[in-house]
């Protein structure tokens, strides 16, 4: 084979190889792109298969944090609007601290009882409002000891009123009322009250567990009325 023929043969083979490369290149690139796409899509497909084609419940939308913060602020606002329990939002109250002692005629202490009572919501409140509106004259003070139900009264009537005006005093912001009565009958006491005025209008009142008293025993009552 001559030199020129050899060059022609090699040139022909080169052109054939170039044509083959041009024909096969698009298919190779398409296959490579499909593999890359498959690799990229495989985690997404796996996640979709795990959640049944729905969005995962672990995904938090961008609006969720802001909604949660708003909810916390609302709860805080409600909590701040609730009245405090230190009494700062409560109304004015009247308290009566009672001490009752039952003694034998020789002065021996038989029973000592202490308890609290409060303002009579009807007559007591009217007395206070009338005093503030019309001026407070020095009233008469009474102590009333009652027996309700099957309990007998310690005096001749069901409600034993006795005067406490002689022993009325003021200590700071407290009003102190004292009184003494001698039981004429065997009986008990289960309702107590303080009262004012000639009509003996109830100021403070409460019920207590029965306090037994024998005839001739002395009942000494001390009441400290305070305001808060």
Encode pLDDT of 7-38 as tens digits. 565 666 656 655 555 555 555 555 555 555 55
What is the chain's Cα-based Rg?
A: 49
pLDDT of residue 122: 81
Domain layout of the chain by residue ranges: 1-50, 94-227
* Whether the Cβ atoms of residue 196 and residue 127 lie closer than 8 Å to each other: yes
In 3D space, the residue among 183, 204, 209 whose CA is nearest the CA of residue 194 turns out to be 204
DSSP state letter for 122: T
For the record, the structure tokens of 182 come out as: 């001698």
Q: What's the CA gap between 100 and 154, in Å, rounded? A: 14
- Which is more confident, 78 or 163? 163
- Which is more confident, 192 or 70? 192
Query: Does this model's pTM top 0.85?
Result: no
pLDDT at 200 over 60: yes
- Which is more confident, 89 or 119? 119
Q: What's the CA gap between 228 and 223, in Å, rounded? A: 16
pLDDT at 77 over 50: no
**Distances in whole angstroms, Cα of residue 36 to Cα of each of 31, 33, 43, 44, 163:** 9, 5, 13, 14, 106
pLDDT of residue 159: 92
Neighbours of 129 (CB within 10 A): 10
């Amino acid at each position: 084979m001559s030199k020129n023929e050899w060059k022609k043969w090699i040139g022909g083979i080169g052109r054939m190889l170039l044509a083959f490369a041009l024909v096969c290149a698009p298919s190779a690139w398409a296959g490579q792109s499909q593999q890359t796409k498959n690799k990229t899509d495989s985690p997404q497909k796996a996640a979709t298969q795990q959640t049944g084609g729905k969005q995962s419940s672990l995904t938090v939308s961008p609006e969720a944090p802001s909604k949660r913060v708003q909810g916390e602020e609302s709860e805080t606002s409600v909590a701040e609007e609730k009245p405090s329990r230190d009494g700062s939002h409560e109304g004015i109250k009247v308290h009566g601290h009672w001490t009752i002692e039952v003694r034998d005629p020789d002065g021996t202490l038989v029973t000592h009882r202490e308890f609290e009572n409060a303002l009579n919501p009807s007559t007591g409140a009217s007395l206070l409002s009338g005093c503030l509106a019309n001026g407070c004259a020095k009233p008469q003070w009474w102590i009333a000891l009652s027996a309700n139900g099957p309990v007998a009264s310690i005096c001749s009537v069901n409600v034993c009123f006795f005067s406490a005006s002689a022993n009325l005093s003021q200590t700071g912001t407290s009003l102190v009322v004292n009184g003494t009565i001698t039981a004429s009958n065997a009986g008990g006491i289960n309702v107590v009250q303080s009262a004012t005025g000639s009509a003996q209008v109830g100021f403070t009142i409460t019920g207590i567990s029965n306090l037994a008293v024998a005839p001739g025993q002395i009942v000494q009552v001390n009441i400290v009325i305070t305001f808060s």
